[in-house]
Structure 1
């Protein structure tokens, strides 16, 4: 068999939201580290957030590049906070993408599920380019969503808070109608993306959810290649992942170094949630009452004017040395992997969930939207490495914010996980074991490593056959 004269050329076309762009950049870097040529397709504005990281990879000899899609003059695509239905329209990129595909004819294109129009765009070119979808969820969430859509158990209960069992899953999973996503347009776009695609890449690892990987693969050709966050191996990559941190990472690490092992609770709700000011107040009072050391990342996304309170609270926590508040972007990976961090209060976005898992940190789950209630079930009911804070209602970001979790609920969840009891200790042990499995999965011979190499080899074989 003749050798391949040049590396497999893979296009990566991320969506414009941080939670979708970040893992696809990690994935492109991972495939380049495995010998492929990775081309990241972006716009002038969005490429700025990862340009320095790509330059560092190029200096290591990796074949990874950025292709900029030129837009009409004075037009750019805004970062989405997933607050509108449908989410940010990126279809203006269709014609520039077609031109690039005709010019380069890559061995495949991996695109985000929200670029659902890419299916028609690529199909209309009549080019034999495998189209691979990245949907940003784990296998458990995908299986739960598919079975609820197929069997409709939520239509057989009398109220939105009456539990029902999700049929056809390896574990007994109970949910309520109040926890289910109501974004039919988004669900339709996901379905359109998958129609007639070559396959799906998933940011997960087999050992995390083996029964659900097997179930997902019954209906999908899939490569399980994560956790892709683990390909960020130097401090600069971790500190600048997504955006430049709002606070110098050394000052954060210095604060963490001053705390005992497993004593700090890290709190972050991703890049999109908007809480009512009263909800922020309840969270703050619950944290204060718990007497637990914490780092709380507050991005400028809260509805209403709570500045006066947060400034006062921040000063009080600084004086007592109980808490450190970061206003803006935080180096999440650096924080989670620090030995003093013993818990993670999270909105259960899949990236955050997987990063917590990869760092071996148990969680306090506070799902809000998207597929986050599914992820909570994986963490608490399947893996048993998390404590529910008690949120019950699925909320789209542009819905009127309200108080869903009181200060007593916050305090109770923090003490349950971080208070030194047997239950929290067992969760921490399980989380550490799973974290070790995650690291082994991406190393040579690990399950995710093998899947990534298998995809590269398959694309090489296609090129030989079609030569």
Structure 2
């Protein structure tokens, strides 16, 4: 489906946009997809990026790339404590980012290049608002999470005042009346030694977003109307829900990990809708006991499975060594394990019938777009909120809420893959999939939001 119509004949708009992604996989993908969408609408694109997790410029010959020094030591450049990492990056990138941006602006004047219309940064780069203002440049933010989960982060000060933090296990099932349909255990937790820093990071990003020139969402009205309405009341800035981005272009070229194409040849041999695809994203980690419960639950379900075990997924193991001797052989070809898979292709494959996911926002959107029912196993942050919406609001998946235990795993897989309940979920997600497809064509809500975004950028 080419939702961009004739526009990528690329009428030159004569304006350049500077984009600055956050260097994490779930943030780089949507930012580079957005860059492609805007490029196809005639803008020239420059990507400023850190050395840490830098994208591969050779995949994007049509963009200009400028790398900045982030001065991270090897210990600092770890995703073990995301809060520490993001907080440090917001300090260490200020000067190099400012110098890079100032240079790009002065080059325009000296070499009479096309003028820079605005800066688009990931919302977590909160320091960029002050830099943009000092250089008289408008800054639009990209939020890569769902609107619903953002509203929960934005409510941290209120939740804090009301005594929700630190979250107590005894309260975990209680509803959060300020944020229906959430329960206390759905409030985003981010494992960190620096709780104060987390709250400061969230507050800074939210406050700097409030004074930005606008916000782009990888989401859409037809999925998150209530949350978008609430956002608009609390944040009086222009907003552009133009998602799902990946439906414009595929994301595989911005992956930081190499894809294993055997996933597809293995799927080709399976019957339609028979396979459960299992992937917990690019950051989550589980311990060896949990890993084995997942393995036995998958094996005992008798359902064919494609399982992405990223090196580093199992704490303390290189890859799949903790599996018992001969485990894969006993499956008789019913299971296939890879280090990383081309997820969009896997979800679009006719053999894929379910997705056991950590509920990162990109994965959630991709699953809905392909009409694949989900088993939700959120690990941290916004994933908790996404999982609650998938299971309780859109009702397109089941939430694996208790601790990982093989019997529970086996039952949940069967409920989704082979029982009547799974069939009902499949009907609902197919209806939602159709709705999402309509948003992107002329007259659809995301199509119109994209048109408004382009006019808005051209008005600077």
Which of 325, 328, 335 is residue 323 of structure 1 equivalent to?
A: 335
Say yes or no: does 1:363 pair with 2:371: no
Equivalent residues in 2 for 1:34-433, closer than 5 Å: 34-43=41-50, 46-49=53-56, 51-52=58-59, 54-55=60-61, 58=62, 65-71=63-69, 81=79, 83-88=81-86, 89-90=88-89, 91-92=92-93, 93-103=96-106, 104=108, 106-125=116-135, 127=136, 129-147=137-155, 149-150=157-158, 155=163, 159-162=168-171, 163-167=173-177, 172-177=180-185, 179-181=187-189, 183-220=198-235, 221=237, 222-232=239-249, 237=250, 239-243=252-256, 245-247=258-260, 249=261, 251-301=262-312, 302-305=314-317, 307-310=320-323, 312=325, 315-316=328-329, 320-327=332-339, 329-391=340-402, 404-419=403-418, 421-433=419-431
Go from structure 1 to structure 2 and tell me whether the alpha carbon gap of 1:312 and 1:213 turns closer, same or farther (over 3 Å shift).
Answer: farther
Distance 2:362 2:292 in 1: 26
Q: Which runs of 5+ in 1 are unaligned?
A: 59-64, 392-403, 463-467
1:451 aligns with 2:422: no
Paired residues of 2:29 and 2:251 also in contact (CA < 8 A): no
- Inter-partner Cα distance in structure 2 for 1:218 and 1:82: 36
Q: How many residues in Structure 1 have an aligned counterpart in Structure 2?
A: 425
Structure 2 counterpart of 1:29:
36
- Kept in 2, the 8 Å contact 1:161–1:176? The answer is no
Retained in 2: the 8 A contact 1:31–1:452?
A: no
Change (3 A) 1:245 1:67: closer
CA contact (8 A) 1:10 1:37 kept: yes
Provide the C-alpha distance between the structure 1 equivalents of 2:103 and 2:433, rounded to a whole number of angstroms: 40
- Unaligned 5+ runs, structure 2: 1-10, 109-114, 191-197
C-alpha distance 313-458 of structure 1, shift in aligned 2 (>3 A): farther
- The 2-side partners of 1:73 and 1:223 are apart by 34
- The Cα of 1:276 is off from its aligned counterpart by 0.7
Deviations 1:282-303 (A, max 9, x none): 1101111111111110111221
CA deviation map 1:1-36 (0-9, x unaligned): xxx984342221101111111110001101112233
Cα RMSD for the two superposed structures: 2.9
Q: Does the Cα contact within 8 Å between 1:264 and 1:341 map onto a contact in 2?
A: yes
What is the match of residue 3 of structure 2?
A: none
Q: For residues 196 and 359 of structure 1, do their structure 2 counterparts lie closer, same or farther at Cα, with a shift above 3 Å needed?
A: same
| Stretch of structure 1 that moved more, 278-287 or 110-119 | 110-119
Secondary structure, aligned partner of 1:344: strand
Distance 1:313 1:455 in 2: 55
